[in-house]
Amino acid sequence: MAAYLVRRLWQMVPTLLGVVLLVFFLFKFFGGDPAEILGGLNATPEQIKAIRQQLGLDEPVWVQLGIYLQSIVTFDWGKSWATNEQVSNLFATRLPATLTVMLPILIVETLIAVPIAMWVAYRRGSVADRSIMVISTVALSISFLVYIIVGQYVFGFQLGWFPVQGWSDSVWTNLVTYVPLPLMLAVMVALAPYTRLYRTFFLDELGHDYVRTARAKGLGEGQVLFKHVLRNAMIPILTNIGLALPGVFVGSFLIEVFFSIPGLGREVLLAVNRSDYPVIQAVAVYLAMLTMIINLTVDLLFKLVDPRVQLK
């Protein structure tokens, strides 16, 4: 286990370096000119040149790359070009709001989708199974934006059950007042693909010989499903959850914009519109690091779920 962990951590280094170089050169050669964006339409060439010098964009590429690598090693990304706010402070103040919304969404949708998928897989071919699959197919064809607009109109304006927008400094107030509506809408969207996917995992396990053997030994259906089928199906389910975790931040864009949540997703969207490279580059690198750490954690969880798994 220790040797595997060290080897995986060492393999992250070239992967992260490749991501860093890709992000740097993509923004350097294919992005817009931040000096022109910050200067505005009425800026003179002299003003744009002054802004470019102030931001260090007039330095050679290798000097800018060195500064970029230094910021990664020291975790000091400097200040936002648009707001002059420390990037580290931006993360510290915006990330909690994103986690307050997105982590409950991921947890709730997983806790609901897994038992539903197991139930419909067990009742494969029944009216309930076919009905849920039809509903899931219809739900998949509707954009998340439609859910947000209709949900805000119905539950916010018409019924008045939830506030449409707002945020506070209290985590508990946010969880009980401002999170329920985006949580409900996001779960409604995610249940359809997750239920279909997890149903496939359970159907695959139910078709194996060990299930027939367990039933032949006289085990009850509850033991077969929860002790054997669920345990074996948890490996692909954990893989899917691991892949979905980095998407927590990507999926927060629409939610944070439409519900006026001061989270990291909305800040990244503003940074893209402003060509605020320090913020965008920091998010890209941190997201790459988070993805690699999550993948490693999921691999280690495989061993916990099924001791037969060999980590090599």
Residue percentage of the chain with pLDDT more than 90: 0
Using the predicted structure, report yes or no on whether residue 75 has a pLDDT greater than 80. no
The answer to the question of residue 198 being in a domain is yes
In a domain, 62, yes or no: no
The verdict on residue 148 lying in a domain is: yes
Instruction: Indicate if the pLDDT at residue 182 is higher than 70.
Output: yes
Task: Over range 157-183, report the average pLDDT.
Answer: 84
- Residue 71 · residue 58 · CB < 8 Å: no
d(CA 254, CA 154): 18
Phi, psi of 48 (to 5 degrees): -65, -40
> Is 278 contained in some domain?
yes
The pLDDT value recorded for residue 66 is 78
CATH of the domain at 278: 1.10.3720.10
C-alpha distance across the termini of the chain, in Å: 9
Q: How many domains does the chain have?
A: 1
In a domain, 133, yes or no: yes
Task: Please tell me what DSSP assigns to residue 170.
Answer: -
Task: Establish if 250 belongs to a structural domain.
Answer: yes
- pLDDT class for 298, splitting at 50, 70, 90? confident
Cα gap 143→208, rounded to integer Å: 36
Q: Does residue 86 fall inside a structural domain?
A: no
DSSP bridge partners of 79: 86
pLDDT tens digit sequence for 16-55:
788 778 877 777 666 666 666 666 666 677 777 777 776 6
| pLDDT, tens digit, 9 for 90 and up, residues 97-115 | 888 888 888 888 888 888 8
Q: What is the pLDDT of residue 251?
A: 61
pLDDT at 1 over 70: no
Cα(269)–Cα(242) distance, integer angstroms: 24
The arithmetic mean of pLDDT across residues 178-206, rounded, is: 84
Instruction: Say whether pLDDT at 174 is over 80.
Output: yes
Q: Do 297 and 239 form a contact (C-beta atoms < 8 A)?
A: no
Mean pLDDT of 46-65: 72
- Which of helix, strand or coil describes residue 169? coil
The answer to whether residue 309 scores a pLDDT higher than 70 is no
Structural domain contains residue 232: yes
Please give the residue range of the domain that contains residue 191. 95-305
pLDDT per residue as tens digits for the range 239-285: 877 777 776 666 667 788 888 888 877 777 777 777 777 787 788 78
